[in-house]
A and B are shown apart, each in its own frame.
Chain A
């Protein structure tokens, strides 16, 4: 399962990993840039405000050449109106206000002592510093302080939140996009029906799905083979039943217009046909049971000699006596042997022999007859049909019921059925059923 020649199948994990990493990296970069810009804007505002205020103060001090007395009376420093973020007061060590920035109050800030360092009241944050005969107190209104904090927080937080939402949306879309092969896989499974012979090649294939696709394809093939086999079995059953049924109905039809003296003979023929019909039904049921599993047990090969009784041909089962104990499903094997003997009878044999042998790890039953046998071509066709039955459970009408049944029994025992000429002059027919002498799990 390969998309394109020499092109590796992409993996959901790899694609998702790289895309997530890329999204996180891009998102983090954008977030960092946005936060940096926000913080720098706020810091720039504060710094610019501080610079402006310092410049305002210094220009006045410069104008008065350091004459602090000239700044007395607590008046606001003369300065152009501006948006003042930082206020200041110049105070005498006695606490008297000497000068102030134009937005600073005209009285000392309450509850702010002349002590070097930071002081915070309900309204302002103040930094006090002592000079020679003078104290400078620089303050920022808490409202302004909080506004700056809020601006920075909202700007940075909002940007990160917006980026998070966008990243989540992108990741959601990406996951859905990357999971399309799974959705296609689900649709493929949904489309599997009784007539599906093979899965359609997926247009979007990912490495993680390859084992599932392969397993599913194999499952579909196995189910199709099973279905084909069951259909073939049903067709085979119908074929097998039709001939004796035709004989039965034809005999009864003739019996209806037959003089009464001939009636017993006609009815006897009809009965024979009905018995054959029952035999076919039994054989079909045995085949069905063989496909459901077998019951392994040890049994004396000589017990198979019971099939030799009540036959219209001579059956030599003497070689079974020396074969010893066999291992398998006695009922199934007995039915297989009986059907192979029936086959020999139907195909013009006068004598059949049953032989059992055991070799290293294998058991073998041979049913040979002295009938006319089959041509080399027909033998090859039969062998090919048996191989198809063994490998694909494909039932071939060419085999007939007896061979199909025996092959099904062999298959159930994990063995095989082979056919050959019984004699070197191509006369006679021999069917050989061979299977392991241990249950399949132990083989």
Chain B
């Protein structure tokens, strides 16, 4: 998943980013609202948001985000030191999907990201299923007709990005953004290379190429 982390504490932000990256997520980390506003123009699978930021309130920015079109449905997880009931209510009412009080365990953070994403996508199961392919985001494993498929981290991320948007066309730039984030230095044919690798491992008919538009997971 591609995640937007907005956290001004350098130590915490660095650790969260490192951990989530180790879990296969792409993390774009920003330390203020000004930067987050710019970043939010991109596509994200979830946003992790601190309450107190140097240039304003994370909750205020969340209201802005929910009022716009880009991330109306994107799961948002508040990360904050404020644990009072009224704070939690205010955060959730502002549009947060979940609320995690600092300090927290990184494993719990990752689990909550998965759970929030499932809930927002309307999934009850902890796995992503499409046709004969099944993805387990917790174990970061894939199966085809019940048999395990050995995928690299990038292949897994690519497949997950397509499965989360099953039936929809996903453009190559969007896939690059979802897989590498802002920081990735991506060669022009990287996505094609990984798509053909996925076709080789899962079957040629699993991903359609829509000429001039992008890729789509076959229904």
Contact = CB atoms under 8 A, between A and B. Distances in A.
A238 interface: yes
B15 A253 contact: yes
A241 to B, nearest CB: 8
B200 to A, nearest CB: 30
Interface in A233-253: 235, 238-240, 242-251, 253
B100 to A, nearest CB: 10
Contact of A400 (B11, B16, B52): B52
A247 B11 contact: yes
Contact of B55 (A272, A273, A347): A347
Contact of A254 (B18, B81, B102): B18
Contact of A247 (B9, B22, B84): B9
Contacts of A251: 11, 14-15
A346 B54 CA distance: 7
B103 interface: yes
A400 B22 CA distance: 32
B56 A250 contact: no
A247 B12 contact: yes
Interface size class of B (residues with CB under 8 A): 20 to 34
B106 A250 contact: yes
B63 interface: no
Nearest to A251: B15
Contacts of A375: 55-56
A397 B103 contact: no
A243 B102 contact: yes
Interface in A244-279: 244-251, 253-254, 257-258, 266, 269-270, 272-273, 276
B81 A242 contact: yes
B81 A243 contact: yes
Contacts of B18: 254, 258, 266
B20 to A, nearest CB: 10
Nearest to B11: A247
B182 interface: no
Interface of B: 8-12, 14-16, 18-19, 22, 32, 34, 52, 54-57, 81-84, 101-106
B84 to A, nearest CB: 7
A250 B82 contact: no
A247 B81 contact: no
Given A245-B103, A254-B19, A269-B14, A239 B82 contact: yes
Given A243-B81, A246-B104, A253-B106, A272 B11 contact: yes
A212 interface: no
- Scoring B12, B55, B56, B84 by chain A CB atoms within 10 A of each residue's CB, the highest score goes to B12
- Scoring B32, B82, B103 by chain A CB atoms within 10 A of each residue's CB, the highest score goes to B103
Contacts of B22: 254, 257
Nearest to B8: A346
Interface in A69-93: none
Closest 3 CB pairs of A and B: A247-B11, A250-B15, A246-B103
A27 interface: no
Contacts of A247: 9-12, 15
Interface of A: 235, 238-240, 242-251, 253-254, 257-258, 266, 269-270, 272-273, 276, 346-348, 371-372, 374-375, 378, 397, 400
Contacts of B16: 250
B102 A246 contact: yes
Contacts of B8: 346
Nearest to B56: A378
Contacts of B57: 378
Contacts of A400: 52
Contacts of A346: 8, 54
Contacts of B14: 251, 269
Contacts of B32: 348, 372
Nearest to A277: B11
18 contacts: A235-B84, A243-B81, A244-B11, A245-B103, A246-B81, A246-B103, A248-B103, A250-B19, A251-B15, A253-B105, A254-B18, A254-B106, A269-B10, A270-B11, A346-B54, A347-B54, A372-B34, A374-B55
B102 A242 contact: yes
A235 B16 CA distance: 25
Contacts of B104: 246
B34 to A, nearest CB: 7
A281 B93 CA distance: 33
B11 A276 contact: yes
Given A253-B106, A348-B32, A246 B9 contact: yes
A312 B32 CA distance: 19
Nearest to A343: B54
Nearest to B103: A246
Contacts of B54: 346-348, 371-372
Nearest to A274: B11
A54 to B, nearest CB: 105
Contacts of A397: 52, 82
A245 B11 contact: no
Nearest to B109: A250
A251 B16 CA distance: 8
A348 B10 CA distance: 12
A346 B57 CA distance: 15
Contacts of B103: 242, 245-246, 248-250
A372 B12 CA distance: 23
Nearest to B19: A254
A129 B111 CA distance: 133
A220 B16 CA distance: 46
A240 B81 CA distance: 8
Given A239-B81, A239-B82, A374-B56, 17 more contacts: A243-B12, A245-B103, A246-B103, A247-B10, A248-B11, A250-B11, A251-B15, A254-B19, A254-B22, A258-B18, A266-B15, A269-B15, A273-B12, A346-B8, A348-B54, A375-B56, A378-B57
